[in-house]
Structure 1
Amino acid sequence: MRQIYFYSVLLLCPLMTLAQEVKLKVSPYVNATTSIKEGLIEAGPELSWEKIQSGKTFTLRPSIRLPLTNEAENVLQIDRFTSTWKSVLAAQFTKDNTQESGGISRHSFTGQFEYGHDNFKYYPSANPNAEVSNGADSYAFEVKYAGFFSKGQSGAPQFSPQFRLRYAYNWNAASEVSVINTPNPGGFVTTSDIIVDPPSVQPVFSPAFSLQIYPGKGNFSYSPTIYYDFTGNIGDNGPFGNLNRLRLETWIFFYPSLTDSPNVKIGISPFLSLRTKGQDSFNKAEYGGMITVKFGTSFLQFL
């Protein structure tokens, strides 16, 4: 679950991303879930077992993730012939230590595995009629922790520390380039935008930490967040050989309604991204702003 960032100057032209989740109860232990986040649709069953007396809940979510649009044609691409699907298996364990009186304390641990197979087409001879097609397997592992703590009194502050470790090995197509076509019988020369280079992969390891804070009153919560991204060399399995970037964010979330729909929130944050190792196409220090609108998330859910 990562947001798309638009590097703007002094909060100009921020990018708005929408997220929505729907859950339908099918049986006492099974829910049907669908979520739309950052141009992707994810759907599948959610199996849940709960022991109320001990405060333990175990949830298993097998699902399929598909893109809503085709980048080239901007059309819906959710049929069974799409080549950019991913299967996701997530398991979550939650221990709620809250008693009838006193403070509220809850711990949640989540593990997730993702797998997908992509078919890449490219034209190494720069000839649109000489196509080469390669299939590649992509995968990712993710571990999350989320806690929730409060005194359990009306108006008491609420805190939710959240930590994430993610490793991703995702193949990506090369960028298109313009090539000159053979002159037609009339002598006119045209160009075509085609992919010449084969796909490539750079492993990424991304730890992240966020502290979600709600003061107990009002319609705002606050979320200082830090990411540190490690990127490996092309073709390597290890993520520590190439590029490192540190990113700092300070989110302020506004909740239009704290009673009827507390899971709808609007956020804004400045960010600072610092390159600490290697080279990329951005400046050593990048800064700007982001806006997000979230639907269907729990009150202080972030990572």
Structure 2
Amino acid sequence: MRQIYFCSLLLLCPLMTLAQEAKFKLAPYVNATTSIKEGLIEAGPEMSWDKVEKGKSFMLRPVIRLPLTNKSENVLQIDRFTSTWKSVLSAQFTRDKTQAVGRISRHSLTGQVEYGYANYKYYPGGNSNVEISNGENSYAFEIKYAGFFSKGESGAKQFSPQFRLRYAYDWKAAAEASVLNAPNPGGFLTITNIVVEAPSARPVFSPAFSLQIYPGKGNFSYAPTIYYDFTGNKGDNGPFGNLNRLRLESWIFFYPAVKDSPNVKIGISPFLSLRTKGADSFNKAEYGGMITLKFGTTFLQFL
């Protein structure tokens, strides 16, 4: 009974994600930025130009993304030998139609390109003396829209519809396998966990939509969100030939300080994931919960 209860708790809260972002002004139009998201660190300059009188702004952000840890060392490595880096170039255009009085209306469009390189080692046939090392290139493209609408008066409701289209072709290492070693001089058998298969890549196309809602008062906002992931076959560039999954989330965000520091928020959401096509190692219907703690985001930013 205790084991069933413990497994139920794991299903309800399988994921906790921490995110933190910091900016440092270097020049009138340039900031140095660093952020930590899901075990990855991003660092680079952020260049922005604003035309306040016309309600227009443009931002360009080239950054390098690296993992904070690897299997052997709890250390960040940034040099020309780093084999797990990824470069990201994003550009954002914002049009603010808000007048001195009346409704608030703002639209933002972001485009992003990612490129990365990683080196993978594996041992075909389970022979630890025969090592093969492959370097593979991964890439992704993303387009994102975010709007913000409100009546522009105290206590008015705030709405932020957000939509995203993302295509990614990412290489991943195969899972480790347990290989039985030859008996040692004492006659004992040992097992070694090594990767025996080559890395693989599956193309993924992922549209997503979220509607962020703040009722105008209190410390909570709400965000129903939907994802639909298309996954292609190994080695193909097209993402529509293999697996489809629908994912539904319903976030509730708590803001410890709405007025003074609204960029700190704590979120919790149940989720339901449904396989609508193909087969994978998960059940047709998966459910659970997620918790997130975010710093440095705008009030209703999500996707």
- TM-score, normalised to structure 1's length? 0.95
Distance in 2 between residues matched to 1:273 and 1:190, nearest whole Å? 39
Q: Is 1:233–2:233 an aligned residue pair?
A: yes
Residues 115-264 of structure 1 aligned to structure 2 (within 5 Å) = 115-264=115-264
Contact 1:11-1:290 at 8 Å conserved across structures: no
Cα deviation, residue 56, structure 1 = 0.7
* Aligned equivalent of 2:46: 46
- Stretches of 4+ moved more than 3 A in 1? 7-14
Contact 1:165-1:206 at 8 Å conserved across structures: yes
Structure 2 counterpart SS, 1:125: helix
* Aligned equivalent of 2:3: none
* Aligned equivalent of 1:4: none
Cα deviation, residue 288, structure 1 = 1.3
Which structure features the higher share of helix residues?
2
Over residues 74-132 of structure 1, what are the superposed CA-to-partner deviations in whole Å (9 max), with x where a residue is unaligned?
A: 51233323211100000000001111111110000000000001111001131111100
**Larger displacement relative to structure 2 (244-253 or 8-17):** 8-17
Cα deviation, residue 8, structure 1 = 5.7
Cα deviation, residue 9, structure 1 = 6.1
Does the C-alpha gap of structure 1 residues 164 and 8 become closer, same or farther in structure 2, counting only changes over 3 Å?
A: farther
* Identity over aligned pairs, percent: 77
Distance in 2 between residues matched to 1:73 and 1:134, nearest whole Å? 19
Contact 1:8-1:287 at 8 Å conserved across structures: no
Contact 1:8-1:289 at 8 Å conserved across structures: no
* Aligned equivalent of 1:75: 74
Contact 1:123-1:194 at 8 Å conserved across structures: yes
Cα deviation, residue 183, structure 1 = 2.2
Q: How many positions carry a matched residue from both structures?
A: 296
Distance in 1 between residues matched to 2:265 and 2:254, nearest whole Å? 6
Contact 1:98-1:105 at 8 Å conserved across structures: yes
* Aligned equivalent of 1:24: 24
Q: 5+ residue gaps in structure 2?
A: 1-6
Structure 2 counterpart SS, 1:53: helix
Cα deviation, residue 12, structure 1 = 3.3
User: What is the one-letter code of the residue matched to 1:91?
Assistant: A
Over residues 153-186 of structure 1, what are the superposed CA-to-partner deviations in whole Å (9 max), with x where a residue is unaligned?
A: 0000000000000000000000110112222233
**Larger displacement relative to structure 2 (292-301 or 182-191):** 182-191
Cα deviation, residue 206, structure 1 = 0.2
Distance in 2 between residues matched to 1:10 and 1:102, nearest whole Å? 48
- TM-score, normalised to structure 2's length? 0.95
Contact 2:12-2:270 at 8 Å conserved across structures: no
Contact 2:12-2:287 at 8 Å conserved across structures: no
Distance in 1 between residues matched to 2:248 and 2:9, nearest whole Å? 16
* Aligned equivalent of 1:34: 34
Distance in 2 between residues matched to 1:53 and 1:109, nearest whole Å? 19
Distance in 2 between residues matched to 1:13 and 1:102, nearest whole Å? 43
Contact 1:11-1:270 at 8 Å conserved across structures: no
Cα deviation, residue 11, structure 1 = 6.4
Distance in 1 between residues matched to 2:220 and 2:13, nearest whole Å? 23
Distance in 2 between residues matched to 1:40 and 1:78, nearest whole Å? 12
Distance in 1 between residues matched to 2:85 and 2:10, nearest whole Å? 37
* Aligned equivalent of 1:294: 294
